Amino acid sequence: MAENIQDKIELYYASLSKGQKKIADYISENYEKASFMTAADLGTAVNVSESTVVRFACRIGFDGYPDFQRNLRETVKSRLTSVQRMDVASNINDNDILQNALMQDAETIKKTRDTVSREAFAGSVQAINEAKKIYILGVRSSSSLAAFAAFYMGYIYDVVLVNTSASSEMFEQMFHITADDLCIAISFPRYSNRTINALKFAQSRGAKIISITDGELSPIAKYATHLLLAPSNMVSFVDSLVAPLSLINALIAAASREKKEEVHSRFEDLEHLWQEYRVYSTTGEEKQ
């Protein structure tokens, strides 16, 4: 599991040069501002050279300044208030918000495709198909993702329980979870304490856990039997969740493919039911 930047700074602080300590001190006091600074900007802010900033990033365990900055931004996203998110976004977005948002979404989907663990994905598919019951957790901004997953998994599996409540009822609804069951937890900044605590409970009962989140620093990552990562973009005070939605879509498609005959039979029965009760409108047919 990755360490956060503050942990790394504390670990290496005593061995840093005088200039590097100035950088460390500045970052500790100005997380939000530093996360969007270039190496040159950060050097100017603390009156050291750009090369000193780059050496600092490497000294505390990163592959270079870009790696350091990505990690810092992940850390910052989980700490920002909604007001701070709007302030940061206003500084980094260009005037064409539509183009900027769509381009960022395309990039996050591409990044997810290139970096998601195929081993974790295959393990997740197997866990879904072997589970006696499937519990899906997602509250606040992640509730829409949880509802999407539960809607389609409900067609395939006999017992799918979705929990999108941020209240204490979450624990009552998960009370019967066992080692034969699976918990799919979805959480993105700002992370919900309810989801984190519910995972602690699920883990204590021996249930398998699929954590769908934005990075290894996420507080739900450490509970995962299978960890699926999809970045989220901060467009304004909200996070774009296009990439995790695409990942969940792929997960459902892959899981259902392994139960192809059963799924086909279920949908045949459902189509007859939908037609009998006119669930869907047919073009040219009078609405009921």
Q: Tell me the pLDDT tens digit for each residue of 205-241.
A: 999 999 999 988 899 999 999 999 998 865 555 678 9
| Structural domains of the chain sorted by starting position, each given as residue range(s) with its CATH number in brackets | 5-77 (1.10.10.10), 115-258 (3.40.50.10490)
Residue from 182, 181, 183, 176 nearest 138 by CA? 183
Q: Quick one: tokens of 139?
A: 């509250």
What was the pLDDT predicted at 222? 95
Angle at 261 between CA 258 and CA 263, to 5 degrees: 80
* pLDDT score at 2: 46
Counting other chains too, the contacts that 12-18 makes at CB distance below 8 Å and 24 or more residues apart are: 12/59, 12/60, 12/61, 15/59, 16/56, 16/59, 16/60, 17/52
Q: Are 177 and 163 contacting, i.e. CB atoms less than 8 angstroms apart?
A: no
Reported as a single tens digit per residue, the pLDDT across 153-210 is 999 999 999 988 766 678 888 999 999 999 999 998 878 899 999 999 999 999 999 9
Q: What is the pTM of this model?
A: 0.74
Average pLDDT value for residue range 7-31: 91
Residue 152 makes CB contacts below 8 A (sequence gap 6+) with 252
Kindly give, in sequence order, each residue whose CB lies less than 8 Å from that of residue 182, ignoring residues fewer than 6 positions away: 127, 128, 130, 131, 133, 134, 135, 207, 208, 209, 210
User: pLDDT band at 81, cuts 50/70/90?
Assistant: low
In 3D, which of 89, 139, 111, 128 has the Cα closest to residue 244? 111
Look at 99 and 275; give whichever has higher pLDDT.
Answer: 275
φ/ψ of residue 283, rounded to 5: -55, 130
Q: Give the tokens for residue 240.
A: 């774009």
